[in-house]
Structures are given as structure tokens and as C-alpha cells.
Amino acid sequence: MTASATPDIKSLSGFVWSIAEILRGDFKQSEYGKVILPFVVMRRLDCILEPTKTAVLAAHKSLPKGVDEETQDMILFGAAGDGIKVYNTSELTFDKLRGQDARQLHANLIDYIRCFSPNVRDIFLEKFLFTEQLKWLNDGKILWQVFERFCEIDLHPSAVTNIEMGYLFEELIRRFSEISNETAGEHFTPREVIRLIVELLIANDDTKLTRRGIIRQIYDPACGTGGMLALAEEALKRFNDSIRVELFGQELNGESFGICKSDMLVTGHNPEQIAFGNTLTDDAHGNRKFHYMLSNPPYGVDWKKYQDPIKAEAANQGHAGRFGAGTPRISDGQLLFLQHMISKMRDDEDGSRIGIVMNGSPLFTGGAGSGESEIRRWMLENDWVEAIVALPTDLFYNTGIQTYVWLLTNRKPKAREGKVQLIDASGERFWTGMRKSLGSKRREIPETARDQIVRLYADFLNGESGEGDVAKIFDTSDFGYREIRVERPLRLRFDVTEETLNALSGQKAFEKLDAAEQDAIRSTIASAFSGQSFTDRAVFLKALNKALKAKGIKVGSPVMKAIVEALGARDETAEICRDKDGNPEPDTQLRDHELVPLKEDWRDYFAREVKPFAPDAWVDQSYTDDSDKQVGRVGYEINFNRYFYTYTPPRPLEEIDAELKTLEADIAALLKEVVA
């Protein structure tokens, strides 16, 4: 392949992939990307900067002494070319390096990298740790071979466009991810999943996206290598090739950040819009709002290390901050990312749309009043949740668990107001098996299935056209319930036996008495009530007080409580224990909680579902919701199985019995052949 060739992306990808074969033996397969991807970036930048190299060097030499870094960048960016946010002040280029002594290549490449503008130098040195990879290549005597092969590729935008460069980068990332199955899921979301999310996001935006002169800003708060951002831009460009797309993201993993920022550089985007750091504790994009947001945040990853600033923001800023609705349990931060994205929805006419893929935990984990439930309540009562799509299992490289795509917007069309559409796309019609598994990835969503899922969503289907088993529409309040506390009265029977008297010794309040006091109380109770039973606590306590008083024994309430605890036993035939006001005293062991659908009055539910089976039960009306102050605590959960589970009856016993007899006969015949 010559530098003057204009290869198609498949052949170019194959050529670059062939360079990785040089690394065999010196590097693990999982480490190929750490060498090849930085080299691709460096070669692309070299090709972009070569035409203006002379102008940049001249501008650099003419810089006034003591110029600050910001001014230097502004001057040299301008010399590098319109819209180019990178420069290199080295006299060297790939062509010049190729013509020099091969023994000096390692030192020359290090010098070349250090002459890049700070924004790019940081990627190579701090994120890619590329100097370490170059040392390994040099020590293995293969640096020149790898470098020379890259010199053969022309990656100038006139030969490989920004769009084509994005395809190349995506293809290489995919390949390197697939041969590194143990970490692929951390850095790479399967393309068919990303395309599904993107197509769902823009499914009903045809009119908005076909206008002239429009700008759309896309954001991913856990952008990884940037695959979601790249495919979202591609989809928007298909709608309208004149649309201006601005990409924003933030990533915590240094290597993934380096790849994503490099992708922005080599495809002509502003790399400064990709930030490094923890999105949840240090939002790099401040008060900026976005048209489209999409993400695949980490599943089931705890946020214990970052809990202090997150909880402080939730407590101090409330809904003025990002986490005012609540915080989920410390073991899973997915709903923190979703709240963060909601905080970045635009307030203008177009509003914002969010697509996020999460596991099942955010759907139903946490009971009424918990952080998860309160976050779901906040989203549903604000009517932001538009649809949730259940995906097939075994789609991702590092996990086979069930995943769900949530779609949210603050500009619902009229027909969707107060509604949530659930789509169960987990069935066999929506996936095909892969010929070869890649880690945990054994299935993929074919294009036909993707089109069907998007149609179900876009047409807002609710069982129409025979799709009732996979698409259903609900009111937002259908997912809510009111948890009421149901109490039953305490009923105690008191038996005075040697065993119950001995049980007094296990009571802390009783043990604090001196031995003489303990013996006096035991002997008084034994002589007065030995062998007796009481089914009314009030009667027993009256008799007990009388007996103790007759012996001149005074006991405090803690000791009296210890006596009741030791001698009393629950008995449903006993009389109800009552407090000083005559009200039934609740038995905490019989306490129960009922979940009343939010659309139903709790009184009607209690009268129908509880009272006939427990006539002595009552609802604790002091157990109220913190928000609406009404009886019972409000909770929200979305249980797909409840709405889509179809009962399949077992086969008839006769059929199973006949099958077993056939198997027994087959086994007997085989044994007969063996013996013969």
C-alpha cells in the first residue's frame, strides 16, 4: 500500500490490523491496541499537520519571549490551519524520521511526541502511556518495523475523510476489544446496541432534524472510547448532512479517555469537549445543556469511594443540584448517572432526549421510601420516562445479564403525556446467535429486529397488529403503590413454671439486681402463682403487683418489663394487650405491610384484602409518606415480568410417563447389546 493510494476502509483496517501481527510474541493480544491505536492517531495528526508544518515552525520561532501557554496555543493553532486544535513544533515528520538513522528512531519519536501541543502531548504521555510502549517496541527490536509500516499509510483528510476515519477508529477499537474479552465490556458497547439506542432517540425527530442550519449537541457522561457519540453523529448526518453536530463527553478511565479524545482529534471535532475525570463528583461541563444524551454507565459498580461529595451535594443543594431526588444504595451508581443526565435537559422548545442502557436493578430495587424508589417516583411524577425496552440477554462482552434501554424526554408529544410504553424485546424474534462467542457475548440484534423495535416505539403501539405480547402502554401512576403498615394486637399468656422463672436470668434488667433481690422476686412469684396461667396481661400485672407489695418488694418498670418478657408468651386465644389509654397494643412480630395500587384508596383495599382474613387488624395511620403526608409510603417499581410473563402449563403426566417408559426401554436395549 503506497502513500498515494486512497484505500477503502475495509482494506485500510485490514492493513493496520496486519501491523499488529508484528507484535505477536512481544505483546499480549490484549495489549495490541495500546500500541496500534496511538500510532494511528500520531500518523493521522502527522498527515494533517504536514502541509502547515513550515508555517507553524515559523510562528513558533517568532513567538515573543515569556509568552504564556494560552497565547502560544492560540497563535500556533491558527498557524496549523482553520479549526485544527493541535500543533507540533518539532522539525521532524514521519517522512523525515523514516530517512534518519533507525537506531535513533526511539529517541526521535519521544522528542517528536513531546513537541505536540499540551492537549495532545497529555494524551500520548499520560493517558496512552505511549513512551512505555515505544520502549518495549525498541527493546524488542521491532520499533522500526512497526513505524515503517505506518509510514506507508496516507491518513490525510484528502485521502481518508473524517467520517471514514471515524469508521476506521471504530473498527479497530472493536477488533481490539473483541480479542481482549476480559475487559471489552468496560471499554466497548456492541455497535448494534448503540445503533438501537440512537435510532430510538431520533425516531420521531424527522421534522426537527431536516431543518436547515440547525445545531445538535450530544453528550455521554461515561463516554468510554466514544462509540456512542460517533454513531449518534453518523445517524444525525444521515437525516441531514448539513446539520452541525457537537460532541461532548467525560470519561474516568485514562486509556479510554485517550482513545475518545484522539477520535475527536482525528475526525475534526473539538477535543476539548471531551473531559477527563469522574462525572459524578466533578462535572466538567458545568451548567451546559444538551439536545441528546446517551450512555452505558457501569453496572453494579459501587460509589463508596466518591460518596462524600455526592451525598453532600444531595443534602446541601437538593433539587438545585443533580441528586435532589435521592441517592441509590452504595453498591450501584447507575441512577446517579441518570439523574446527572436529567439535570442537563434543555428548557427550550426542542427540549432534550435521553437514552441510557442499564441492568434490571434501577427498575425495581428498593422499597417505598428508599433512594431508588424516590428517584423512580421523581422521574415518573415529572412525566419524563417515555419508554423502556427490555433487551435480550448475552449481548455484552463482559456480562450476560438482562439489560434495558430507558428513553426519557422533557418534551413528550401529547399522545404520550402521562404514559409509559414498555417493550419486551428479549424474546427469540429479536436476536440471533453468533457463530462464535466473544466473551459473554453470544447473541446480537440483527437489523430487521432493530427496525421492528424502533417501529414499536415510534408508532406508540399498545398491542396493535398482534404486538400485545411485546408492547404495552401504561399510565405513569400504574407503577406506583402506597405501602401501608398493618398492625395486629399483642396477645400474651403468662405461665408461671420453673422454666419461665429460670428465663428471668437472661433478662439484663433483672441481672443487674443483687442476688438477694433476684431470689426474693422469684420466690414471691413462685409461691403466689406457681402452676397458674393468665390469658389477660392486665389481670396478671395487677395480681403480680399485689403479691410483690405484700412482700414489701418494689420493682421499677425495666424489671417489670423483664418479668413480662420472661413469663409471657404469644397466644392468639389470649386477651388483647392494651396501653394506658385503652388502645390495642401492636404486636411487632405480626406487623405486616401491604402494597396498595396508587390508583386505589387504601381503605377500600384494606377492607377487601385484609379485614376478612384478620378481623382484629388495623392500619397504622401514623405511618405516612414524607412527601404527601398521607397514610402509607409511596413507592414506584417497574416489573417487566408482571406485565409480560406468560404462564406455560406443564405437560400432562401421562405424556411425561410415556416418555420415561420409552427412555427406559431404550436404555434396557442398549444394556442388552453391551452384555451380549
Looking at the fold, whether 34 and 114 belong to one and the same domain comes out as yes
Query: Closest Cα to residue 365, out of 404, 394, 320?
Result: 404
DSSP 614: -
Which residue, 543, 570, 597, sits at the end of a domain? Answer: 570
Task: Dump strand ranges (E) for 500-583.
Answer: 533-534, 568-570
Looking at the fold, whether 443 and 497 belong to one and the same domain comes out as no
Give CA–CA dist 332/415, Å, rounded. Answer: 34
Express each pLDDT in 285-319 by its tens digit. Answer: 988 999 999 999 988 788 999 999 999 999 999 99
Looking at the fold, whether 298 and 388 belong to one and the same domain comes out as yes
Confidence of residue 676 (pLDDT cuts 50, 70, 90): low
Express each pLDDT in 23-80 by its tens digit. Answer: 988 888 878 888 998 999 999 999 999 999 999 999 999 998 888 988 998 999 889 8
What is the reported pLDDT for 46?
94
Looking at the fold, whether 179 and 154 belong to one and the same domain comes out as no
Give CA–CA dist 425/447, Å, rounded. Answer: 13
Strand partners, 293: 219, 354
Express each pLDDT in 211-268 by its tens digit. Answer: 888 999 999 999 988 889 988 998 898 888 889 999 999 999 888 898 888 888 877 7
Which residue, 524, 551, 570, sits at the end of a domain? Answer: 570
What is the reported pLDDT for 187?
47
Give CA–CA dist 205/232, Å, rounded. Answer: 13
We report the CATH number of the domain holding residue 61 as 1.20.1260
Looking at the fold, whether 125 and 184 belong to one and the same domain comes out as no
**Residue 354 to residues 25, 197, 562, Cα–Cα distance (Å):** 44, 9, 59
DSSP per position, 615-634: TT-EE-TT-B-TTT--BBEE
What is the reported pLDDT for 405?
97
Report if residue 318 sits inside a domain.
Answer: yes
What is the reported pLDDT for 32?
87
Report if residue 657 sits inside a domain.
Answer: no
Long-range CB contact pairs, 204-208, < 8 A, 24+: 204/413, 204/458, 205/239, 205/353, 206/239, 208/350
Q: How many residues does the chain have?
A: 676
**Residue 646 to residues 126, 180, 391, 470, 582, Cα–Cα distance (Å):** 54, 39, 17, 11, 50
Looking at the fold, whether 323 and 472 belong to one and the same domain comes out as yes
Give CA–CA dist 613/327, Å, rounded. Answer: 38
Give CA–CA dist 378/520, Å, rounded. Answer: 61
Report if residue 656 sits inside a domain.
Answer: no
C-alpha cell at 405: 434501554
Looking at the fold, whether 235 and 344 belong to one and the same domain comes out as yes
Confidence of residue 464 (pLDDT cuts 50, 70, 90): low
Looking at the fold, whether 341 and 433 belong to one and the same domain comes out as yes
Minimum mean pLDDT among 152-156, 267-271, 540-544: which range?
Answer: 267-271
Residue 106: how many other CB atoms lie within 10 Å = 18
Report the half-sphere exposure of 491 (CA within 13 A, side-chain side): 13
Report if residue 647 sits inside a domain.
Answer: no
Give CA–CA dist 124/106, Å, rounded. Answer: 15
Report if residue 617 sits inside a domain.
Answer: no
Report if residue 613 sits inside a domain.
Answer: no
DSSP 652: P
**Residue 134 to residues 36, 39, 225, 557, Cα–Cα distance (Å):** 11, 10, 22, 79
Report if residue 423 sits inside a domain.
Answer: yes
**Residue 533 structural domain:** 492-570
What is the reported pLDDT for 393?
93
Confidence of residue 180 (pLDDT cuts 50, 70, 90): low
Which residue, 160, 181, 201, sits at the end of a domain? Answer: 160
Express each pLDDT in 440-455 by its tens digit. Answer: 788 999 999 999 999 9
Q: How many domains does the chain have?
A: 3
Give CA–CA dist 372/635, Å, rounded. Answer: 9
pLDDT at residue 206 tops 80: no
Residues 486, 592: contact at Cβ < 8 Å?
yes
Distance from the Cα of residue 153 to its chain's centroid: 40
What is the reported pLDDT for 138?
94
Express each pLDDT in 91-139 by its tens digit. Answer: 999 999 998 888 899 999 999 999 999 989 999 999 899 999 999 999 9
Collapsing DSSP to helix, strand or coil, 452 comes out as: helix
C-alpha cell at 177: 476489544
Residue of 621 and 188 predicted with greater confidence: 621
Looking at the fold, whether 388 and 531 belong to one and the same domain comes out as no
Strand partners, 514: none
pLDDT at residue 600 tops 60: yes
Express each pLDDT in 485-499 by its tens digit. Answer: 999 999 999 999 989
DSSP 577: P
% of residues, the chain, pLDDT over 70: 96
Average pLDDT over residues 312-327: 95
We report the CATH number of the domain holding residue 298 as 3.40.50.150
Looking at the fold, whether 470 and 499 belong to one and the same domain comes out as no
Residue 91: how many other CB atoms lie within 10 Å = 11
What is the reported pLDDT for 171?
79
What is the reported pLDDT for 6?
38
Minimum mean pLDDT among 1-10, 203-212, 486-495: which range?
Answer: 1-10
Q: Could you tell me the pTM of the whole model? A: 0.84
pLDDT at residue 593 tops 50: yes
Query: Closest Cα to residue 221, out of 345, 105, 97?
Result: 345
Average pLDDT over residues 359-373: 95
Report if residue 644 sits inside a domain.
Answer: no
What is the reported pLDDT for 548?
93
Confidence of residue 181 (pLDDT cuts 50, 70, 90): low
Residues 233, 268: contact at Cβ < 8 Å?
no
pLDDT at residue 627 tops 60: yes
Pairing, β 492-495 against β 568-570: antiparallel
| Ramachandran region, residue 531 (left: φ > 0; alpha: ψ -120 to 50; beta: rest) | left
Average pLDDT over residues 184-189: 54
What is the reported pLDDT for 110?
95
Looking at the fold, whether 78 and 124 belong to one and the same domain comes out as yes
What is the reported pLDDT for 4?
36
Looking at the fold, whether 382 and 509 belong to one and the same domain comes out as no
Residues 335, 310: contact at Cβ < 8 Å?
no
